[in-house]
Amino acid sequence: MTPPSLFDCAGRPLDLSRPAVMGILNVTPDSFSDGGRFQGLEQALRQGSRMAGEGAAILDIGGESTRPGASPVSLQEELDRVIPVIERLHAELPLPLSIDTSKPEVMAEAVRAGAGLINDIFALRKGDALAVAAASGVPVCLMHMQGEPDSMQTAPAYDDVVADVMTFLRERIAACAGAGIPPERVLIDPGFGFGKGLAHNLSLLARLAEFRALGHGLLVGISRKSMVGAVLGGVPVEQRINGSLAAAVMAVERGARLLRVHDVKETVEAAKMAWAVIERTEEPL
């Protein structure tokens, strides 16, 4: 059950025969300064170009904050945020783009605008997301989440977190197959921090290799998350790079092939080092 190593993201290849980095591009008002829509667009383009230059293989563009307690964003507002950014980045950069959304309408518009992957923290469970994703023709990432963003951290509970998450992902993979999304188009993600306590997150990372049995490309997002802050004694997000890199290396060693991160250059270098050891490669990567 070797996962596919090459994904066709709307005509742009994503090579996961070795670890690759997905750069996070949030297009939310709190993620750009104060200058309104145009400044937000220009800033997103600069940030996207920088991450591409730092070695990102794909950029993940999101217009809705999923932090606990964040207020929901209307469909029109989410479209207004992400579609111009996707259009411009698609025109100006050669790399594939991912749309981070749970709304079927945003998925459809984003793919029309040039997005080549759908990253959905709800694993295509909202409305007709399954059918829309199937019709789009692009690969999808199915992420596990227990509960809903506003309440998921209240009392997360599992019998066996790895087994429970794997059962959920198997069910969503089957739902995709039923909707016409073949397994070769599906990436999976255990969803670090989404309805998980620290012990759950640490178990998922320690036992990440077990997810290889599902035979799908494995994406992980640990970058700057609270699990890193907690381990380091409550440090703020801007002091979580080293902890995030340590977790990224452990994920690569256990089979992760796409790392969703804020700190692209650092993660690209850490992943190259890990991969050189795994492959005993003496050539520069």
CB of 247 to ligand 8Y7, least distance (A): 11
CB of 70 to ligand 8Y7, least distance (A): 10
CB of 279 to ligand 8Y7, least distance (A): 25
Residue 260: active-site member: yes
CB of 20 to ligand 8Y7, least distance (A): 14
Rounded to an integer, what distance in angstroms lies between the CA atom of residue 94 and that of residue 125?
31
- Do 167 and 133 contact (CB within 8 A), yes or no? no
**Rg for the chain (alpha carbons), in Å?**
18
Place of tokens 């520069």: 284
Q: Cβ closer to ligand 8Y7: 156 or 276?
A: 156
Q: Is 87 exposed, middle or buried (0-12, 13-18, 19+ CB in 10 A)?
A: middle
- Do 115 and 10 contact (CB within 8 A), yes or no? yes
Binding site for ligand 8Y7 (CB under 6 A): 62, 66, 100, 119, 121, 141, 143, 189, 191-192, 219, 221, 225, 260
> Which one from 196, 224, 225, 240 is the annotated catalytic residue?
225
Closest residue to ligand 8Y7 in the complex (CB) = 221
Q: Cβ closer to ligand 8Y7: 78 or 100?
A: 100
CB of 33 to ligand 8Y7, least distance (A): 20
Biggest CA-to-CA distance, the chain: 51
- Do 245 and 216 contact (CB within 8 A), yes or no? no
Q: Cβ closer to ligand 8Y7: 154 or 280?
A: 154
> Which one from 81, 103, 260, 272 is the annotated catalytic residue?
260
- Do 218 and 189 contact (CB within 8 A), yes or no? yes
Angle at the Cα of 172 from the Cα atoms of 161 and 256, rounded to 5 degrees: 60
Q: Cβ closer to ligand 8Y7: 189 or 263?
A: 189
Q: Cβ closer to ligand 8Y7: 143 or 248?
A: 143
- Beta bridge partners, 258, equal 20, 219
Q: How many CA atoms lie within 13 A of 40 on its CB side?
A: 21
- What are the tokens at 183? 């397994």
Active site residues: 225, 260
